[in-house]
Copies of this chain bind each other. A is one copy, B any other.
Amino acid sequence: MPDDIHAFIGRDAFAKFIGVELLDVGEGRAQAQMAIGPHHLNGMGRVHGAAIFGLADLAFAAACNSHGPVAMAINVSINYIKGVTEGVLHADAYPVSVNPRLGTYTVNVTDDAGDIVAVFQGLAYRRREKRGGEPQEER
């Protein structure tokens, strides 16, 4: 499973493109990080909300796919708490509730001082086939 999920995340072109790195994953949890660069900033010189979302989303995807069946996000709610301009951002994803069809995860994004930057809550729908099987198109 760990190899499988690392391979799955390794094919995530967008996460790679924006510079998100998966650190650890297993049993519904995942940690990731992103070193802030100039391409992550918004028009006010702060890290873009969508870049923070991208980091958190990768940790969420790794966490909710670590259980086996293919999981797809159906809703995310994100609260932005603190603006940041530099350093490394850290994401820690953990399960709040997982049943056979729906899983809810929280991802905390923190800065180098350990302050919370954003709180991400993701709801994933878990399909019945395994990764690698032919996905039945539902959406």
Interface of A is mostly: mixed
- Interface size of A as a range: 35 or more
| B81 contacts A14, C-beta separation under 8 Å | no
- Copies of this subunit: 4
Bound together, the chains give a CA A74 to CA B75 distance in angstroms of: 9
A30 to chain B, nearest CB (A): 13
List B contacts of A39 (CB < 8 A). Answer: 13-14, 17
Among candidates B40, B41, B76, B104, residue contacting A49 with C-beta atoms closer than 8 Å: B76
User: Chain B: which residue is nearest A45 at the CB level?
Assistant: B11
Bound together, the chains give a CA A54 to CA B73 distance in angstroms of: 15
List B contacts of A137 (CB < 8 A). Answer: 83
Among candidates B11, B15, B102, B135, residue contacting A74 with C-beta atoms closer than 8 Å: B102
Is A33 part of the binding interface, using a Cβ–Cβ cutoff of 8 Å?
A: no
* Extra inter-chain contacts (6) besides given A14-B39, A96-B119, CB under 8 Å: A12-B43, A14-B48, A72-B80, A75-B123, A77-B121, A104-B119
Bound together, the chains give a CA A18 to CA B13 distance in angstroms of: 12
